[in-house]
Structure 1
Amino acid sequence: MNRTQQIIIVFITLLSLVLGSCKINKGFEALNNYNYFDAKQYFEKSLKKDESPAAYGLSLIYFRNDNPFHHQDSAYHYSLLSIESYKEATQKTRDKWLEKLDFSIEKAKQHRKAVSDYAFLEAEKENSVVAYQYFIAKNPWSAKKEIAERRRDSLAFYIAKEDGSSYALSEYIRKFEDSEWRHKAQSLLFRAQYNETIKGGKTASFLEFIEKFPNNPLVRDAHYQVYMLETKEKTISAFNSFIRRYPDNVFIDDAWTSLYRLSIADYQKETILSFSNAYPDFPFPELIEQDLKLVGKKLYQFIQNNKYGFMDERGNVVIKANFEYAGQFKNGLAVVIKEGNHGYINKDGELLIDYQYEEAMDFDQGRAVVVEKDKYGMIDVSGTYVLNPEFEDIGSFNDGIAYVQSDSGFQYYTLDGSLAFSTIFDEAFAHQDGKAKVRKGNESGYIGLDGSFIVSTTNGTLTHFKDSIYVHILRDSMNLMYANGTYLFENGFDQIGTLVNNRAIVERDGKFGFVNGKGEIVIPIKHHVYPNYLQFSQFKNGHVILKRMNKYAMIDSVGNSVLPAIFKGIGTYGDLIPVSKGDGWGYANSNVRLKIDYQYDYAFEFVNGKAIVEKEGKVGLIDIENELIVPLEFESIKRLSDSILLVKKQGLYGLIGIDNSLMVEVSYHRISEYSPNLYQLVKDHEVSYFDKVKKEIISLKE
């Protein structure tokens, strides 16, 4: 190559750089003059050579709403591209951008924040689980992510809470396992499982039911009612009488256990020995033997040098920190791990079941699921296999039985390891209130405790609505159906929602109304559907929010108006109702009188006369007179009970009383409920506990 050719190549290269620089400069000049058409063309042509500032310029155009190119998703895309491509640029290129264009990574990040903040406002307007989840997924860097997560979890929790079914609550726990409402949902799940059982009656009527309908899936509930009625005094004599009169009752073991616990209420060695002599037919002699060894021990998990051990309530070491992990004591045993293997110790630290499992669960009802050689099995408290480790999965015990999955399919077993019934299913789930969802071939539906179908279909799918009513879903149509296959309505619906506060949405031809738990239409099908109405228009505290002409209204359980359609946002019904007209949140009463002015960025519902409010990114607690009980100085506040609040400040957690009294200083990295009335406090690698009853901290003595 001669010198002339070299000069020509250099000249062309310099010319190309100058022309490229001119394009990006002209793009920003056009943008400053609001000439969006030219600016867009210049930026697009500059993407190859000046990708980061060009993407930044395009994002500015798409973000602004004063031009025909306004498009939020494109603004989001190019704001990310600007930052990512900046990282790939050389320092020389970055310096050129700064000198020639006054462009830097700080500008790109500031713009990305503006795009993200706008997206948060859009999510806030929609105020739905889906909207907040979409924002969280797309904006993980946003400072508003935690607020979005809290609101998403809050909305999802109250949907599940108002649904009230054990299915809805267990689904919430599964989907939002890190939610601050998870423990509340778990408590509500237990309550729902209880409330969905039969109630009332006399002993004679339940005994007659058991005798006449021995295969009825509710027989176990009838046994339970007999047990509860005959032992309602909860005295030693009541349990003793029940054991002698009803030896075939399925809750006989519970009666024996209660008799034992009441008889040794002082938990002294002499009392335990006295009970053993008085009741030689007690079916759990191993319980007596164990209690004689472990009388009075109350142990707390601690961590020292990254190892787990147990201390007493004075902080003294009882079991040295020798374990890679140690769980809580359940049924007198705790899971421990050494060298990756799982075993069980008692409260003396004695290894009662050897380190032989790849996984091991806590004991429940005297049984624990373990994994050996990638196969599931079940053991009793002695370590003896009740079900040999030869299964793909073992479910939890509900109503005394659990599903077990093998190569052949799903079957159900009892606590003693015997088959509950011989039927093999292709798919099966845990029982809930005497019924379980299953599929066998092309037949799917719900079975009872005897394994026979209560209701089934070979066409479409079924979900449980309430009692003996189910939802039959067939392609794009739904109808309520009795277990015998009879439909409640001549014409089906486009949608049938879940039952919440004894009300469920039904939609037909673009309008919706509500039915009650009997399937009766109680609010006419006349309300126009709107986006996410199935989630948003759910009854809460006997009231529901409706959207009319982009405004929100509230009606009661029979359709009477409570709040007219004048609000941009309405919260949960209570002593006062959170409301917003677009410029902040306040509270109104049911007479549509504003009792607390629009002054908060967000307002949560009143609970026992107190409500959590948010302002300028901080939360506090007010009473019904709008007096601040807890100042607006925390990043988050979570109700742990009626009297205790979990607060977060500068990334650390503490506990305060509902009256703002300090219980545990705000200095811990994590605080969680360990057991009833006991909270676990974690700071770095140290673990201590707060006793809610004694109002004192239990920590390891140095």
Structure 2
Amino acid sequence: MNKEDKEDIIETLDFDNDTSLEDDTVEMLDFEADKKVSNEIDEMLDFIDLTDQKKESEKQNKEELDDLLKSVNDDKQNKVEITASEKKLDEYVPSIKDFNIKNAKTRKIVKKVMLYVIIVMLIGFEFFINKTGDVLNDLIVYASDNDPIRIVQNDKYGYIDYTGDKIVNPKYSYAEEFVSGYAIVRDASNLPLIIDKGGKVAVNTGTYFSLYRADTDIIASKVTDDGLKYGILNSSLKEKTKFNYDLISYQDGCYSFVNGNTVGLINLDGKEIFTYKLTDSDDKVIDVKTSSVNGNYTKYAVVTVNKTSQIVNLDDGTSVYSPTLNEIVPEENNVFYEVINDDARRYIYVENNEVILEVESYNSLIMPSIEAGVLRAINSNYEYEYISTKTKEQLSDNITEDNSFYGDDIFMYYTYNSRRRKNDIALVKNGEVYKTIEADFEIEKEFHNGFAIVKFSDGKYGYLNEDGNLLNDVHYDEAGQFDSYGEAIAKTSSGYGVINKDNKTIIDFENEEIKMASSLVKQKTASNRNNVFYAVKKDSLFVLYKDNGKKVDNLHYTDIVFDDVYPVVKVATDAKDVLLTTEDLNEIPLTSFNNEYEAHDNYIIVKNEYYNYNGKLIYVDNNKES
């Protein structure tokens, strides 16, 4: 049986929920199955004596099971799908532990293929596993974590599933991609509704007047006794706020609202955190401009109402800077400046609901790393100053742009040691020096993902950790920065290799070149039974390697490009160019290595063709050029 034939017989199962399995007896489900198959199944189950622990002869049971397998495999018309209610799975392989079979009355709870599993539970024949192993291995049931795929036909939107079967025929005038299991769509009359991943209506037309996506939430409006009012729905379609607002908008990670003569802010938990009372004649407008932050830090924003601006905490609504008629402009990492006049600015840095620094004498102020806690300013003499957020004073008068290094969470600078007549290296975090290193090396690159790159007197390189210690004693010819997964590509005189943050060699140092998957892709696929982390070049050809440093296979490629976000690898050989999905190395054809593609969580678009991660063509968009 070839791969295509196997795909034809793959069937999926659908339980509306898991609660039906909690009772001792389970109601019979009507699957509208083929009568012949159902009769054969009934006869097979009736044959089994559940109270008798004695087994019939292996030969007789094997013959019965062979007949059952044949009858089920011959019937390919019916399809049932599983909806996973709790644990999300990339794929679901039937297992006997998933069932609680207590008596024969439950024998029709599942259809066809899952009866194999029930029989295994009841009989326990090892030969059954051997006989049906291939079938069960190919029986992949895609659970509900695979979102439906949006398609367009004749300017109407619909959805297909991961296998290409239609969930919803193209009939909507608008449809969004699924978010948290739901999608906002509009019917032929342009009225909004919400559907679930099974294509069923979760929120009917007429329930809400308008529906707008706000990240995973939804801003909705509906007619109430007080007229048209707005509210917020969470990702489960539950009310996050009451519907008593005249207007709600989503701006830069928070919600602003208008309610009568009151305007204000709602945080991401749905709580009103800031209000401002206006008069009848005032414009009912609130504007929010957020300072973007690097990392998981509290955000602050400039909130402007009635021509006055102030700086507000977007978590709790605390106003940390008094209202002013002057314009306030947000910079990165909670740095702001107030425009005093055409030639003057007042710079402000905010942290922990406190104005840490407020000064008019600077031409510039930036905060490269909140965790490092060192502000860099350019004063009126156009000289750099490095200010500690802890002491609010300069760290040192001798720090310059050339002898300092901003990392993602640590600041370093050279400080002269007169005793040694050499430079020491000061490490700074949270605005204070926590360690000074009497080093015999120089800083080559700043800290990134826990390590800085240093340069030895012999011109070679090493890695310095945040404790101020070298990762190892090796002097590398080349040293790449560590990724957030904790791995780096380096080179010795013998060639390129890969090491991790624990100083373990993953790929030996004997290669011409190494390419590596992104940290994001590594994190997504680390638990997969197969993954592709590295492309190792030796003898002018690339070979793919897993996370454990073992070869994926013995195939060789002339070129390879990793996708930055999804587990997809573009590879080239002398014979062909393809996309590989790294879970099972399924191929998606390319006419050229230069072909562009568009990857998503559960499908990939090449030109106008949609493929799933099994490499199966599931849809062709005739509205696009091929």
TM-score normalised by L of structure 2: 0.44
Q: Quick check: which one's helix share is greater?
A: 1
TM-score normalised by L of structure 1: 0.40
